[in-house]
Amino acid sequence: MSIVINSPLDMHLHLRDDDMLKVVAPLSATSFSGAIIMPNLIPPITTKNKLIAYRKRVIDASKDSSFNPYMTLFFKPTYSKEFLSKVKDEISAIKLYPAGITTNSEGGVSGFDIKELKNTLNAMSELNIPLAIHGETNGFVMDREAEFASIYEMLALNFPNLKIIMEHITTKESVALLDRFDNLYATITLHHLLITLDDVAGGMLQPHLFCKPIAKRPEDRASLREVAFKAHPKVMFGSDSAPHPQDKKEASFCSAGVFTAPITLQLLTELFLENSNLDNLQKFISTNAQNIYNIEVPKKEVILEERDFIVPTKYGDIVPLYAGEKIKYSIKEIIC
């Protein structure tokens, strides 16, 4: 049996830069029609010139004309409406990081004072620029996302015309927010649909499963699966595929991030089939994102089949999820 996915989208993707960009960009561009590209480089993408230059590097590295990188800026509370008006046509969203909460986020927001944020957020509302947020506090690691719920509520209430994307949600509390506020949406990763904290640290520590936000409890995963498998209209796929060199993952100061880009579609197909929701995969992987972001996407048809695929142990110097293991589905053909 062949399974067809039309114009798959990854609404949260890390491509890094330089040599790593050249390794990982083609792995997404080959099978996806487009992706929201994260701006947390060193230094972060904060100007129009940096944005345009990075987009060109992504396109050059992708080597696929049917892949569209949807670019983002790194949030700064000092962005003016004049500046945002000039850059609006070049971006699909602005990404907000709490300062120091994850990889390359040191220049993020410290505190969430409405007075400091309102000018930029009001301008974004008027210009219809979505705000994507890494929603974690600096509290106890298992509680960080749940604690951030009050900040999501504050932003949703104070900026009702601002489209807010809760990135890579991991908790049942975040899922509950979707139906409480009209302007809150969410991305969900592949790895958070697959694993819990027990997979990361219940036995021998698995550094290649360590990410931020960290995987949570079985009941949290169940909540994520419920809205993903039903293709809740406010939920979309975002891999948060985050490549790091092997020596940065298998280290005493392990970098956070799970690299899933090369096997995303195969594993999502298997997961949705196992849970009798294959009919909703198209919405989760593309249609919902098109509606939420109001974007047009390049046409691409990805045909998968039930055929064993051995996951490579490495792509360049990056170890993927399930490295060396056998998965059930393979990509048979891609038609652009």
d(CA 178, CA 296): 24
Distances (CA, A) of 139 to 142, 146, 147, 148, 268: 8, 10, 8, 10, 32
d(CA 258, CA 248): 12
The DSSP secondary structure of 31-50, one letter per residue, reads T-SEEEEP---SS---SHHH
Which H or E run contains 4? strand 2-6
Instruction: Of 156, 116, 19, 11, give the one whose Cα is nearest residue 69.
Output: 11
Residues 6+ apart with CB under 8 A from 269: 3, 5, 278, 281, 304, 329
Instruction: Of 97, 23, 85, give the one whose Cα is nearest residue 48.
Output: 85
CA dihedral of 45, 50, 53, 57, whole degrees rounded to 10: -30
Q: Which residues are catalytic?
A: 240
Residues 6+ apart with CB under 8 A from 196: 215, 216, 217, 218, 220, 221
Instruction: Of 28, 127, 144, 146, give the one whose Cα is nearest residue 81.
Output: 127
**Residue written as token pair 């958070």:** 192
In angstroms and rounded to an integer, the radius of gyration of the C-alpha atoms of the chain is 19
Q: Is the alpha carbon torsion for 117, 80, 49, 91 positive or negative?
A: positive
d(CA 125, CA 90): 17
Parallel, antiparallel, or unpaired for β 68-70 and 72-74? unpaired
285 DSSP 8-state letter? I
